[in-house]
Structure formats: structure tokens, C-alpha cells
Amino acid sequence: MYVKLMLCFFFLKKEQCLIVNPFSFNKNYDVYLGAKKIKIFKMKIQKILVVALLIVSFISCKEKKSGNMLVEGTVKGLKKGTVYLQKIEESAFVSIDSVQLEDTNHFTLTADIESPQMFYISLGKDNQEKIPFFGEKGTIQVQSNLDKMVLSAKIKGSKNQELLEQFNQMISKFTAKRLDLLKQKFDNYKEGKKDLAKKLEKQEINLLKRRVLYAVNFALSNATSEVAPYVALTTIDDDNVKLLDTVNKSLSESVKKSVYGKKLDALVQKLKKE
């Protein structure tokens, strides 16, 4: 009886595994490819092992991802599928990285970024349900549930994300209040109470002004964070050039050089020329 050494590579079928008898008494080694016996002449078993290790090392290096931002996450309820890491370029979603899951709900995605900016996690390239988060260098952790992917999402590891969540919480209150005013205004117009409806309309206008002023104050208070120019770009209308310029001038030098810092400055310079 003798011991056989089996070498199975990922590209070979089960029946094509190499089975080597390293204790053959012949100078040549007996090698079996499946059930077929092959003679290896003047080749030492060590050479076969070296080749095998080189192939395995090559495959491992090829599959290893690199990037200065690592996104690790779990989607509870997900058993298989493809998870995409996306960002917006020229008003369109572009996939930066993706990973196919099989019998697991854990994923790891990477990207190289120059400065903090918004990224999105999706279960399909064209899937409308996307988890937004402010990405930055380092490790970002994302936890979510499949049935309420966006609403149940929890993100850790990003300071800008923490600030953005604070901002969004207040903005959601403004939004809820406005929806309530719109409903009241519609009901009063429907009942013929035009005077009361007009009062509600004025309240809505004042609410929108307060919303903009809150966004400006938030950006000014966080001028050393990349979230400041992002908030200005997404919340303040182009008609308010002075307010946009005020935020732009308040930004720290490092933030001015960021993705959204450059976009805000370009927008302000463009609006001033018009």
C-alpha cells in the first residue's frame, strides 16, 4: 500500500484531478489524470508542488482587491445575488465595483477615492433601491435588511456620513411639516376657504426659507467637512447665488480641493457670470 498525493486545480473537473504517487520505486513518477496513468520522465515531485503553489498564488493575487476605501456589509435575508458599489458621474450611476454572492449575505467592495463623496450600494445595476452613504478613505461598515434595504441601513466608519445623517434628520422634519401644510391648503381650497388657504401658502413659503437658512448655517458650521459643499449643492437653489458664494468662501482649503468643493466653486463662478 502507498500514499497518493492529489493536486486539484480550480479549472479541472473532479475526475481530472492529478493523483501522484511520490513513493514509486521507479526513477520516474506515476501520475494519474483521472483513471489514466501518465509517466512523468526526469521530473521530481517537488517541481510539481512548486508549479501548483505558483498557480494558487497567482489566483489569490488576481482575486485580491485593492483600494483606499473598503466597504464591508451584510444584507440580512439575502442568499444570493450581485452587490454593486456605484457613484454618480455626469448625472448617471456608474458601477465602481461588484461582487457575486452565493450562500452568503456578507460582501466586501473597494474603491480608490481622492476625497470623501457620495456612493451607493445596489443589488442591481439598474435597481432603483440604493443605499446612499458618504464614502471616505478607510473601512465603511454597512448593515441592512433585504425587505427594507434603504430604511433599515446603518452605516459606520464615516464622519461625513454622521454629519449628513444629522442634517437629513432635520430636513425630514421640514419635509413632513410641508406635506402637512400642503394637505391643509388643498383641503381648504376644496372647501372654498380661500383666505385660510392663502395663509397656509404663506406659511409654506416661510417654511421653505427656513429650510434654506438651516442648510446654509449647517454648511457654515461644518466648513471643514466635505459634507458642507455637498449640502449647499443639493439643498440651495441656483437662484441664491449670494448664499452659495457665502458657503463657498467659508470652506477650508482642503475641502475646497475636494470633489464637491470644486463643483461648488465652479457653480458659483458660472452663476456670477450669468
Residue 125: pLDDT band (50, 70, 90) is confident
Contact 126, 145 (CB under 8 A): no
Query: What are the distances in angstroms from CA 61 to CA 9, 101, 106, 132, 175?
Result: 16, 20, 21, 30, 49
Q: Mean pLDDT, to the nearest integer, of 75-82?
A: 92
More confident residue, 19 or 262: 262
User: 161 phi and psi, to 5 degrees?
Assistant: -65, -40
When pLDDT is averaged across residues 172-193 and rounded to a whole number, the result is 95
Beta-strand ranges (E) seen in the chain are 5-7, 18-21, 29-33, 36-40, 69-76, 80-89, 92-102, 106-111, 117-122, 130-135, 138-145, 154-156
Q: How far is Cα 93 from Cα 25, in angstroms, rounded to an integer?
A: 64
Residue 230: pLDDT above 90?
Answer: yes
- Tell me which DSSP letter residue 156 carries: E
Alpha helices in 191-226 (DSSP H): 194-221
pLDDT band per the 50, 70, 90 thresholds, residue 178: very high
Higher-confidence residue of 29 and 223: namely: 223
Residue 246 in this model has a pLDDT that exceeds 90: yes
Burial class (CB in 10 A: 0-12, 13-18, 19+), 259: middle
Q: Is CATH 3.10.20 the classification given to domain 69-157?
A: no
- Give the pLDDT band (50/70/90) at residue 41: very low
Over 80: is that where the pLDDT of 51 sits? no
pTM of the model: 0.75
Distance CA 120, CA 71 (A): 11
Domain ranges of the chain: 5-63, 69-157, 160-273
| Grid cell locating 91 | 448625472
